[in-house]
Amino acid sequence: MSPTTRNPAASVDLVGVGKRYGAAWAVEDLALHIDAGQFVSLLGPSGCGKTTTLRMVGGFELPDRGSVLIGDADMGSLPPHRRPVNTVFQSYALFPHLSVADNVAYGLTMRRVPKAQLRDRVDRALDLVRMRSFAGRRPSQLSGGQQQRVAMARALVNEPSVLLLDEPMSALDRKLREEMQVELKLLQHELGVTFVFVTHDQGEALTMSDQIAVMNQGRLEQYGTPSEVYDHPATGFVAGFIGQQNFLSGRVTGIRGDGALVQTPQGVVLATTDAPLSTGDEVQVAVRPETVQVLSGVPTAEEPNRIAATLRGVSQIGHTLQLVAETPDGTRIVAAIPRSAAPPTQLDVPVTIAWAPAAVRIFPAGPTAAPPTAP
């Protein structure tokens, strides 16, 4: 099927953008470039500024400083209806007294699009989201997923260059949300429209995005591909917010080749790093559960990246076993290991926790993001 859009996808540039509410900056000095035709997620916890950023792109809020450009055009103080964008809201905002077809046609009707053209564009938009057979129903007769599709069709029928999506799947149950993630990414690929997607769900962002902008307290922490922000987090906040991490605090005791030795209360950690570190620096080290090994018995000698612990918990998650080991000082370290690896599973027995130097990330000592709540 050919795309409904005749307007080409547009790039989005935020140039030193800031938005203040009272004395507090909701977004501060944000610089971000989104290529035309990309699927970009604005990701972060509640209150980080992601929705405010989206609203400034859409024209629902105006920045107190900086510029918003769509394509080569500075949006200035243009209202939403004069920008080449459309928005899918979290609540869907469908008119309950109108049919599906009339909801989708509403914007075209207000613009006095001729009826023959209007009908054709509505049919094509409903075909894109597989809802044409529901054209005569009211929103109350639809499931949550179906209402989301109608909201998508209503935005797409206006043929935007940029589509803004403000947590549109937050009201769906987990299974339906996962199905809609796949459908939404396929739809974006088919249309070629620039998608800017707001979410607090890191799994959602990793699944769908070409690029992810991780935000915290109104600032951009990292902008990169899903693999970049997951495998090479730029800050301790990103490391803690994207996926699960084991954090240990310590002090750099030496530099060894391309690595650093860190003394922690749990043991010595060796990390491969190109970060500019010096002996005596206070740092945090982070190790993802899927890179942790759990071995039977205790270490025979003090070696880097081998820590004595006691196995306290074992749970099965699909094809993976999640093991929780506790060090003598009470620190808990989580490992995610394939069942086929047959790790030790007897509780309350001594084990060795181990990982490779390349699995360790080092960050300056300071606060990190709390692990996100599972959806």
Residue 371 pLDDT greater than 50, yes or no: no
For the chain, report the end-to-end CA distance as a whole number of angstroms.
Answer: 34
The position carrying tokens 């699909």 is: 318
In this structure, what DSSP letter does residue 342 have? Answer: -
Most confident of 128-132, 190-194, 324-328: 324-328
Of 96-110, 160-174, 274-288, the poorest mean pLDDT is in 160-174
SS3 label, residue 30: strand
The pLDDT value recorded for residue 373 is 39
Cβ partners under 8 Å of residue 95, min gap 6: 102, 103, 106, 139
- Indicate the pairing of strand 162-166 with strand 65-70: unpaired
The full set of domains in the chain, from first to last, is 12-238 (3.40.50.300), 246-364 (2.40.50.100)
Residue 50 pLDDT greater than 60, yes or no: yes
Residue 318 pLDDT greater than 60, yes or no: yes
| Helix or strand run (H / E) with residue 351 | strand 350-354
Cα separation, 253 vs 255, whole angstroms: 7
In this structure, what DSSP letter does residue 193 have? Answer: -
Please write the tens of the pLDDT for every residue from 60-78.
Answer: 999 999 999 999 899 999 9
Cα separation, 2 vs 176, whole angstroms: 26
- Furthest C-alpha separation in the chain: 81
- Contacts of 70-75 with C-beta under 8 Å, sequence gap 24+, read 70/10, 70/11, 70/12, 70/161, 70/162, 71/10, 71/11, 71/36, 71/161
The pLDDT value recorded for residue 308 is 94
CA atoms within 13 A on the CB side of 142: 25
The pLDDT value recorded for residue 189 is 87
Residue 291 pLDDT greater than 60, yes or no: yes
Angle, in degrees to the nearest 10, between helices 115-128 and 174-191: 130
Cα separation, 103 vs 99, whole angstroms: 6
Please write the tens of the pLDDT for every residue from 294-314.
Answer: 999 988 778 899 999 999 999
Q: Are 101 and 122 in contact (CB under 8 A)?
A: yes
SS3 label, residue 147: helix
- Which residue, 332, 344, 330, is CA-closest to 294? 344
What value does the mean pLDDT take over residues 39-68? 96
The pLDDT value recorded for residue 369 is 55
Residue 2 pLDDT greater than 60, yes or no: no
Cα dihedral 215, 217, 219, 225, rounded to 10, equals: -10
Please write the tens of the pLDDT for every residue from 222-275.
Answer: 999 999 999 999 999 999 999 899 999 999 999 877 889 999 999 999 998 888
- Which residue, 16, 50, 329, 307, is CA-closest to 200? 50
Cα separation, 371 vs 230, whole angstroms: 13
Q: Are 158 and 7 in contact (CB under 8 A)?
A: no
